[in-house]
A and B are shown apart, each in its own frame.
Chain A
Amino acid sequence: MTGTLTQRMDRFARHLLPLAISVVLVILSVVPVYLPGYGQIAANLVLMAVFFWSVYRPDLMAPAPVFGIGLLLDILSGMPPGMNALILVLVRSVVVTQGRVFRGKSFLVLWWGFSLVALGASLCLWLLSMGYSFVVLDPMPGVFRWALTVALFPFFAWIFVRVQNAVLQ
């Protein structure tokens, strides 16, 4: 630990930013937007944040806070508590162990990796939802949601990169 108290507090606050952004994205993704049908295919913004920072700053995306973010998403979106928490913790573990594949590579590699991870996460969600309610569910809303999430990833990644460069250097 180096630096004065203010410097340490400053660094602490900066290091909380990825988690804070994730929490904001949780709330943004459950606020009503009044677009017909959007609720079911809404892009998984939280997954983008957890994925991005698990690649670049896994130290700032510890498993327990990721679990908490998933739990908050579950509760506010009315899903069974633990479902998104489980998926996000698994995503974090997978991405942290495979982090070297993405770091320092082109954005296309990152995007491709995200699409695979998001596909796995969607599949998990579909299977868990069916296991939870003992019914066969139509996978199509999940597929649309995955496609929209992957399509919007570059935009959010661009924001995350700006934040990363501005605050976390």
Chain B
Amino acid sequence: MKPRTGSSVLRLAVPFKALAQRFAVLFLVLAAFGLMLLSKAETVVVERAVTTISDIAAPIMDVLSRPAASLNAAIETARDLAYLRTENERLRRENARLLAWQDAARRLADQNEALQALLDFKPDPRMNHVSARVIGDAGGAYARSMLLNAGRRDGVAKGQAVVTGDGLVGRIVAAGAWSSRVMLLTDINSRVPVTVESSRNRAILAGDNTNLPRLIFLPANAVVRPGDRIVTSGHGGIFPPGLPAGRVVAVGDSGVRIQPFVRLDRLEFVRAIGYSGVSAAIPEEGDDAEAERR
């Protein structure tokens, strides 16, 4: 009798199990939609869970991203060696030119300080920066973002601007304890208030998932030419003013296209910048040494 009862239980159990599994799939599908809606509504619980999981994975990704980074560094070193002489010559010339600029900058800084004192001018707050390594950069086909190995404990906060020595990279959109996520300038959701440096026209730099973001809300009478530098305007209070964002490369029917100064697909180290204290007009020597720890 025993095996018979066993098999009849089994006969009952198999469709039951299939049914349960079907319900499990239905439940998971609904859960996925629910999660997407909650994250769209920027629910705090979901945001916190996401940053916590990123925090847990960050050390593993940090380790795994190192071989790729070393390989990349080795390839670049080899490339640099090949162009050592020409590069040296170019740097020599650039150095001479920059020394002249430094003189000019010092003179202007002194003058600026004197004029500010005359006018009782409120200086821009000082920016402090946190250096971080890029440990994840697959935003998928329809988003452009990166994961950094620094978080709230290091002083990174949501909303901070992210830069390299070349210019603006993007903005912190989520900060965990040890990791944070940057939305790049080129992401379809990225909007940065900027000014055209030569004409001081204000506009918004809007990403659209291509490599060349667009300028939108440019005044109708504004004149923009290829080659014009685009810098952050500081409006909206998120980004410090004057961060170089990119250069105009095309003005046409598809709008004004900007080539970012930073090569966004080869980033290894970046800096997140926040406000604190009062800034000096010219950075002290060695200020950037820590940031560019290559």
Cβ contact of A27, chosen from B28, B61, B143, cutoff 8 A: B61
| A78 adjacent to B24 (CB under 8 Å) | no
Cβ contact of B265, chosen from A39, A63, A72, A77, cutoff 8 A: A39
Which candidate, A9-17, A79-87, A153-161, is the interface stretch facing chain B?
Answer: A79-87
Extra contacts besides A28-B64, A77-B138 (10): CB < 8 Å: A30-B138, A32-B69, A37-B211, A40-B141, A64-B24, A78-B139, A79-B140, A82-B32, A86-B28, A137-B209
Residue B33, interface by CB 8 Å: yes
A41 with B141: in contact, given A67-B32, A82-B34, A133-B188 (CB under 8 Å)?
Answer: yes
List chain A positions with a Cβ less than 8 A from chain B: 27-42, 63-64, 67, 70-72, 75-83, 85-86, 89-90, 93, 122, 125-126, 128-129, 132-133, 135, 137-138, 141-142, 144-145
Please report the C-alpha to C-alpha distance between residue A34 and residue B266 in the assembled complex, in whole angstroms. Answer: 5
Which candidate, B129-137, B158-166, B214-222, B275-283, is the interface stretch facing chain A?
Answer: B129-137
Chain B residues near A32: list those with CB within 8 A: 65, 68-69, 134-137, 146, 267-268
| B65 adjacent to A85 (CB under 8 Å) | no
Chain A residues near B265: list those with CB within 8 A: 34-39
Chain B residues near A38: list those with CB within 8 A: 265
| B54 adjacent to A76 (CB under 8 Å) | yes
- Of the A-B pairs whose beta carbons lie under 8 Å apart in the complex, a sample of 28, sorted by A's number, is A27-B60, A27-B64, A30-B61, A30-B137, A31-B64, A32-B267, A33-B68, A34-B72, A37-B265, A39-B144, A41-B141, A42-B138, A71-B35, A72-B53, A76-B136, A77-B138, A77-B139, A78-B147, A80-B35, A80-B36, A80-B39, A80-B40, A83-B36, A89-B32, A125-B142, A126-B142, A129-B140, A133-B188
List chain B positions with a Cβ less than 8 A from chain A: 21, 24-25, 28-29, 31-36, 39-40, 46, 49-50, 53-54, 57, 60-61, 64-65, 68-69, 72, 134-147, 181, 188-189, 209-211, 263, 265-268
Which label, helix, strand, loop or mixed, suits the secondary structure of the B interface? helix
Most central of B33, B136, B189, B263 by chain A CB within 10 Å: B136
Please report the C-alpha to C-alpha distance between residue A146 and residue B138 in the assembled complex, in whole angstroms. Answer: 15
